[in-house]
Chains A and B, each alone.
Chain A
Amino acid sequence: MSKQEQQEVQQEGCRTSRPSPDARLVTGAEAVAEAMRQIDPDVMAVYPITPQTPIIEAFSQYVADGRVHTELLLMESEHSALSAVVGSALAGARTVTATASQGLAYMIEVLYIAAALRAPFVMAVGMRALSGPINIHADHSDVMLARDSGAVILIAETAEEAYDLTVIATRLAEDPAVMLPVLVGQDGFITTHAAEPVRLLDDALVRGFVGEYHVPYPLLDPGRPTTQGAFSMPDSYFPQKAQEEAATRQAGGRFLTLAGDYARVSGRELSAVETYRTEDAEVVLVAMGSVVGTMKDAVDRLRARGLRVGVLKLRMFRPFPEDALRKEISPGQLLLVFDRALSPGSWPPLFLEVAARIRGNSCRSLVFGLGGRDLSVEAVMTVVEGREDLPANAASHLGIAGGAL
């Protein structure tokens, strides 16, 4: 880097990431546990799994110290944990859980049912690679398993975002137009275990924001008994799935509204799609999760070299925020879509979503960081500088011998 570049990067760094004086240094897992303490759910049902476990450990301490009124269920597996969550949510209790990787894989059967039964709850996910081979590090393969479950999927870049999204997710899950599970993903270890400045809100603000939960159709209302999960023949199955799909779609609009409410409380804007220096960009990096921070640094450095490049971050993967995405993309921009997951035999998941929505833009697909492999600022810069050589007919696997880069 030249001196001038360095100076510019430093200035940018100061402008974009100076911690606020009221921020506390906490990990992403601690931030989510703190949000859950403030939300004070009625029930939490969990099973330990790395790298989510610090969330339930911190929360267990809150239970032991009497700082929450939550009933903590230490279940015998994730499958049982999510089953208990669904029972609890349907009975009318405000319910949360947390998991990762194989744990989410094991929950998947129940997650589809949870969405179909319109059971609202928040699930924190410490996003981690799937076995095999067994690996405990950051990767988005686990949340991609939930892609078609009907659940809402939100993904945080930072610990603070994980905190914010957990609070918003509580309202979103319980919104009468939604009534669905909401997953809040943060990158395993990179975000769950690294301490960052987080501006935690006052307990009263969070409690006021989430309010009381009024379940519209409680299972346990003797005056108005309901049957849930009944067998469905072809005449009713499809219409029910259509209703469920409509609810997932509606979650997009409801998120906008709730994020607006949250901005008034917190002073923080959390749109489904966020851009960084894309206004005049010729190249736009599209990504989700913690890597976006790396990309912002790369963008600053590349701009110092005269390259017009920006980042587009998605905080929401389900429902896919297609209108917001289209609004932020200008014709002619080259989109480099970075996926931290594979879909063997097809294109990676985020790329597929983006490519399906875009007209008049070229897109290139890049897969990076599987199983926790780091993507450096320099590597992002190399990709952007070598963009002309990226193949259009296949995804490039970054850092793999035989890959394009």
Chain B
Amino acid sequence: MPRFGESVDRYLRRELLPTVWCPGCGNGSIVQALAMALARIGREPEDVVVVGGIGCSGRTPFYLATNALHTTHGRALAFATGLKLARPDLEVVVTSGDGDSLAIGGNHFIHAARRNLDVTLLLFNNAIYGMTGGQAAPTTPTGSRTSTSPGSGSTERSFDAVELAMAAGATFVARTTTFDVQEMPLYIERAIRHRGFSMVEIITQCPTYYGRLNRLGEAPAMLVWERDMTGEPSDDQHGWKTGVFRDDDLPAYGDLTGQNSVRTRA
């Protein structure tokens, strides 16, 4: 496995660093992990497309030396569906946030999973809308403070992305965190190698909004918080269990109709 900084350079656009993200944001760790996974798989950057939605996570494709497509809020998976069907030979990775994929794009999320579309979704879950300034998202744990749920915090229940993906039919489902920097690239690698719809939910720290509004401290303290929230499975309703929850071999979308045969155009 490549070490940090090693052999991943050809997947990264280092000239664009430092990133636009806030100091201490977890998104940079995910970019690194994705580059490491791609390096381990060994696909050429030009054979990979990273599709982003809107939100802080939507900026991810810019930092990769692969093909990149920046789409609209919530629709990254829908754009990716067309892309994958037109070019089944390409590796399609979608980077999308919890607001992007579970709120405004929730419909595409469940239908991509239902179809078992052969793309990989990296779901960046920071439990808040970061880019617009820290509003409550459908992943905001009950009682958490956001800019639209100040005071005693969010009164709504939150989604469990893993349960949702499994119920909708995703065939590879995993969850990890930006604290788990060793595990994260391995899960991403398995997800990309998986044939069918694969989803890796990555709990990532947003020190600027979620951390500050909930007094979780700076990024290092938030990483420890991530570790504590995911350690032993517990009854804590705000806990996130990590691991690979499903890895099934089932026909991917298009397999039965032969649509996934590789077409190349001169």
Which A residues contact B (CB, under 8 angstroms)?
46-50, 53-54, 56-57, 60-61, 64-65, 72, 74, 76-78, 102, 106, 131, 134
Contact = CB atoms under 8 A, between A and B. Distances in A.
B129 interface: yes
A222 to B, nearest CB: 29
A56 B106 CA distance: 22
A76 B106 contact: yes
A48 B133 contact: yes
B194 interface: no
Contacts of A78: 104
B72 A102 contact: yes
17 contacts: A48-B132, A48-B135, A49-B132, A50-B132, A50-B133, A53-B132, A53-B133, A53-B147, A57-B135, A57-B147, A60-B149, A60-B150, A64-B149, A64-B151, A74-B136, A76-B106, A77-B104
Determine chain A's interface SS by DSSP, over half rule: mixed
Interface in B122-136: 129, 131-133, 135-136
B148 interface: yes
Query: Which interface class (under 10, 10 to 19, 20 to 34, 35 or more) fits B?
Result: 20 to 34
Determine chain B's interface SS by DSSP, over half rule: loop
B211 interface: no
A48 B138 CA distance: 12
Contacts of A131: 72
B73 A72 contact: no
B34 interface: no
B148 A76 contact: no
B111 to A, nearest CB: 15
B133 A57 contact: yes
Nearest to A75: B103
Contact of A48 (B70, B129, B152): B129
B218 interface: no
Given A64-B150, A106-B104, 16 more contacts: A46-B148, A47-B104, A48-B129, A48-B132, A49-B132, A50-B133, A53-B132, A53-B133, A56-B148, A57-B147, A64-B151, A72-B148, A76-B106, A77-B103, A102-B73, A131-B72
A92 to B, nearest CB: 24
A102 B55 CA distance: 13
A101 B147 CA distance: 21
B104 A134 contact: no
B12 interface: no
A64 B152 contact: yes
Contacts of B119: none
Contacts of A60: 147-150
A74 B154 CA distance: 10
Given A76-B138, A77-B74, A65 B151 contact: yes
A62 to B, nearest CB: 10
B70, B103, B132, most chain A CB atoms within 10 A? B132
A74 B138 CA distance: 9
A74 B156 contact: yes
Q: Which 7 A-B pairs have the closest CB atoms?
A: A64-B151, A77-B104, A76-B103, A48-B132, A60-B148, A48-B135, A64-B150
B54 interface: yes
A64 B146 CA distance: 11
B64 to A, nearest CB: 18
Contacts of B136: 74
A48 B73 CA distance: 11
Contacts of B151: 64-65
A72 B156 CA distance: 12
A72 B74 CA distance: 22
Interface in B27-83: 54, 70, 72-74
